[in-house]
Amino acid sequence: MVIIDGKKVASEIRSELKLQVDLLKKEGKSVPGLVAILVGDHPASKVYVNSKAKACDEIGFKSSIEKLDENISQTDLIEVIKSYNNNKDFHGILVQLPLPKIINENDIINSISPLKDVDGFHPISVGNLVIGNDTFAPCTPAGIQELLKRYNIETKGKHVVVVGRSNIVGKPIANLLVQKKDFANSIVTICHSAADVSIYTKQADILIAAIGVPNFIKKDMVKQNAVVIDVGINRIEDKNSPKGYKIVGDVDYDNVAPLTSFITPVPGGVGPMTIAMLLKNTLKAYNNLR
């Protein structure tokens, strides 16, 4: 069994990107810029946004966190986004989700320029992804594909079973891996909580768990030698930790890992890849806009 080291791969990608930024600086060019828009003070979102900005700073990207009041109106939020659509210093715009309930998430995503849509959530990006055109792929799915690629895990003709159908992970990873392309070409099943998913998970050569339920995937749901990718980031109470909680995935890791050929740990598996791919998308936006 191989434990996939997402932290190491993400760090390699960040170093590769830093080399490209160093080169731009040497040539006297501007650098890629990312703005992260945070509405309200959702604790996990704050942590994510700070990590994204820190990752930008470390490789020499320009970064900014636009902190907005939780009670901002939808119209005002759209005005802020539009100002960044026209701001030449920022090539990528990210609106951290979830948003307060009174705001319509789709309207907000639609207001981001598709040229700056580094999250890959705009319907134009989603449509291009489904068609198989070059576009911004959402960062977590792109990170999963990159891990499969860098660990030489065969995807062609393999049965990928995705548990979870979110717009952020489940649907886009299925669409990436079904494409008739290298590091894809899989047979893909998407399943979800409307039925007993174990019927499907047991058939997976590559099982992707993205349901947001702690330790949901048990060992009797996994085929021997399967590749298991755990996208879950769940906070559960832990009295022994100074923070009072710990992070666990969607997979019952201790019992499932011995069965697998490859598995991603939580933390240190898929998580760090999300930010690495966000940086990659920001460089792509910069190159497209130049």
Q: Kindly state whether residue 55 participates in binding ligand GUN, applying the rule CB under 6 A.
A: no
Establish if 139 lies at the interface with ligand GUN (CB under 6 A).
yes
Query: Do residues 176 and 140 make contact, with C-beta atoms less than 8 angstroms apart?
Result: no
Positions in 93-112 near ligand GUN (CB under 6 A)? 94-97
* Token couple for 161: 């079973």
Of residues 56-95, those binding ligand GUN (CB under 6 A)? 94-95
Q: Which of 5, 96, 205, 284 is catalytic?
A: 96
Please indicate whether residue 119 is annotated as part of the active site.
Answer: yes
Q: Which residue, 94 or 190, has its beta carbon nearer to ligand GUN?
A: 94
The helix (run of H) or strand (run of E) holding residue 83 is: helix 74-85
Total of chain residues touching ligand GUN, rule CB under 6 A: 9
**Which DSSP string corresponds to 10-21?**
HHHHHHHHHHHH
Distance CA 205, CA 198 (A): 14
Cross-strand bridge partners of residue 248 = 234
Give bridge partners of residue 163 from the DSSP assignment. 191, 209
52 catalytic per annotation: yes
CB nearer to ligand GUN: pick between 24 and 97: 97
Question: Which of 5, 52, 116, 230 is flagged as catalytic?
Answer: 52
Q: Which is nearer to ligand GUN, 204 or 209 (CB)?
A: 209
Residue 168 as a binder of ligand GUN (CB under 6 A): the answer is: yes
> Toward ligand GUN, which CB reaches closer, 80 or 168?
168
Between CA 172 and CA 118 the distance in angstroms is 14
**Residue 144 in the binding site for ligand GUN (CB under 6 A):** no
Find the binder of ligand GUN among 119, 146, 205, 250 (CB under 6 A). 119
DSSP state, 100? P
Q: State the nearest-atom distance from the C-beta of 168 to ligand GUN, in Å.
A: 5
With CB atoms as reference, the residue minimizing the distance to ligand GUN is 97
Which helix (DSSP H) or strand (DSSP E) does residue 232 occupy? none
Residues 219-258, one symbol each (x = binds ligand GUN by CB under 6 A, - = not), give ----------------------------------------
| Alpha carbons 289 and 273: distance in angstroms, whole number | 24
Nearest to 80 by CA among 111, 50, 55: 111
CB of 96 to ligand GUN, least distance (A): 5
Query: If we measure between CA atoms, which residue out of 73, 83, 69, 65 comes closest to residue 103?
Result: 73
CA 36/CA 46 separation, integer angstroms: 10
Just list the catalytic residues: 52, 96, 119
Task: State the residues that interact with ligand GUN by CB under 6 A.
Answer: 94-97, 119, 139-140, 168, 274
